[in-house]
Structure 1
Amino acid sequence: MKTVLITGANKSIGFETARQLLEKGYYVYLGCRDLKKGEDAIKQLHAEGLTQVEAIQIDVDDLESIKNARKVLGAKIKILDVLINNAGIGGAMPQNALETDMKVFTDVFQTNFFGVIAVTQAFFDLMNASLAPRIVNVTSGLGSLALHNDPSWKHFAVKPTAYVASKAALNAYTIVLANNLKDTAFKVNAVDPGYTATDFNNHSGPGTVPDAAARVVKAALLPDDGPSGQFYSDDNAPDTGISPW
């Protein structure tokens, strides 16, 4: 049975991603900062008949928490097939490029960028034991430099600077990581789930959580001949799903 760890998985897109992978037969580890919320999420999944799931306490902002999560998971399994770096924050708004407090930048980058790197490095050995390891970094169209430089692309009148920069950095890390692993079985990709109605944006997005999660799941299930080092964005590349960085 294939295994997957999803960070930030007790609600919203992370939770729905867990549900969809459970339905596909994966054993899912819900990465949650608050273990109680993770256990509550599991009760909901159990009520739906989805039982191959456990909660793992992990705070991606805390190196000791990440190390402990690796220790806990390593005592349960020797192979991790899929890692979905889903945990993320938007940061205090508004985020003007010249006026945003440095604390906002450091907080947002800690979760959206440094946290992803720390988690990926911590669990890499378990993934390296998989025959078909997949790493999915949940990003945003707002992190695409190509889209920001396209005059026909309109998103926010005032761009959230810290969030945009953190996701652009995450996209760059995804490219480099995929390149580092190009001669292996790893597939490493970034996925834009789309402008989705969640707590993250006060439910202002037009997209649905199930559709957003399906995009993440698609990258987690790539076949052996699937691409790596790509930026998947159905919203911005309707024909192929693969959008320019």
Structure 2
Amino acid sequence: MSEQTIALVTGANKGIGYEIAAGLGMTVGVGARDPRRGEEATAKLQAAGVDAFFVPLDVTDDESVVAAARLVEERFGRLDVLVNNAAIAGGWPDAPSTATPEGIRAVVETNVIGVVRVTNAMLPLLNRSPRPRIVNLSSHVASLTLQSTQDLGGVSGTYSPSKTFLNAITVQYAKELENIKVNGACPGYVATDLNGFQGRDTPAEGARIAIRLAKLPDDGPTGGLFDHAGPVPW
């Protein structure tokens, strides 16, 4: 990549997103919908030596996403790496028999439609990059193969299917965008507020796979789902 590589991480004010921003080693936009938390996270990253800048960004809001794309364009003219990290869990466990349409819509709006909204807004900027990369934060619970063969922690009628939907979108983007490497990252069972901090791994450990996919060489894969150990079955 070029000497100054420009990245944007959504939901980067805490947890895995923050650690991705901290570990990329790039000029990184800290996407966050809460201005105070976003500014605080950006200041903390800057104090640690990260070339970070705050990007007000609510992935569920069209105007916010358009404004974020405009900010990146005016400042840099392009984007090299997009990490779609922002997500919500809904209830967990959340059986499909008790899931509500409203709850499903809310989760899909952030976890799937939000990714599409941000990605499409940033595509003109990514297309100006010599080596563009898109990383979508998925989960092992999104794998239909793993869900049908392993106990992954209960039944999920909302979060898990939303990430399966995201996997499908990731594959289609990879098929369409032949000039951009698009992959899904499974960070593992990470202790974040998404799971009530019950995970085994730290956010920094969870961030490693997204960082690796963001820095793929030119002969690296596209259209895949990966964790720290390698490919994850769909």
TM score, norm. by length of structure 2: 0.96
Identify the residue that residue 125 of structure 1 maps to in structure 2. Answer: 124
Identify the residue that residue 46 of structure 1 maps to in structure 2. Answer: 46
Q: For this pair of structures, how many residues does the alignment match?
A: 231
Partner Cα distance (1:243, 1:112) in 2: 19
Identify the residue that residue 199 of structure 2 maps to in structure 1. Answer: 205
Shift of 1:49: 2.7
- Structure 1: segments with no counterpart, 5+ residues: none
Identify the residue that residue 8 of structure 2 maps to in structure 1. Answer: 5
Identify the residue that residue 243 of structure 1 maps to in structure 2. Answer: 232
Partner Cα distance (1:154, 1:225) in 2: 35
Identify the residue that residue 194 of structure 1 maps to in structure 2. Answer: 188
Partner Cα distance (1:79, 1:49) in 2: 23
Partner Cα distance (1:58, 1:87) in 2: 10
TM score, norm. by length of structure 1: 0.91
| 1:154 and 2:143 matched | no
Q: Give the ranges of 4+ consecutive aligned residues of structure 1 lying more than 6 Å apart after TM superposition.
A: none
Shift of 1:46: 2.4
Q: Which amino acid aligns with 1:13?
A: I
Q: In 1, are the aligned partners of 2:6 and 2:78 still within 8 Å (CA)?
A: yes
Deviations 1:209-237 (A, max 9, x none): 11111111000000000000000023xxx
Partner Cα distance (1:47, 1:31) in 2: 18
SS at match of 1:100: coil
Deviations 1:162-203 (A, max 9, x none): 101100000000011101123x2x110000000001111111
Q: Which amino acid aligns with 1:67?
A: V
Shift of 1:92: 3.2
SS at match of 2:22: helix
Identify the residue that residue 167 of structure 2 maps to in structure 1. Answer: 171
Deviations 1:56-107 (A, max 9, x none): 0010011111111112221111110000000000013442212211110000
Q: Which amino acid aligns with 1:9?
A: A
Trace 1:1-245 onto structure 2 (pairs within 5 A): 1-21=4-24, 24=25, 26-50=26-50, 52-150=51-149, 153-156=150-153, 158-182=154-178, 184=179, 186-234=180-228, 238=229, 241-245=230-234
Deviations 1:129-155 (A, max 9, x none): 0010000000011111111122xx221
Tell me the C-alpha RMSD between the 2 structures.
1.1
Give the fraction of aligned pairs with identical amino acids, expressed as a percent.
Answer: 39
Q: Which amino acid aligns with 2:22?
A: R
Deviations 1:6-29 (A, max 9, x none): 0000011000111111xx2x1000
Q: Which amino acid aligns with 1:242?
A: P
Partner Cα distance (1:165, 1:139) in 2: 11
Deviations 1:33-64 (A, max 9, x none): 012111101221222233x1100001001111
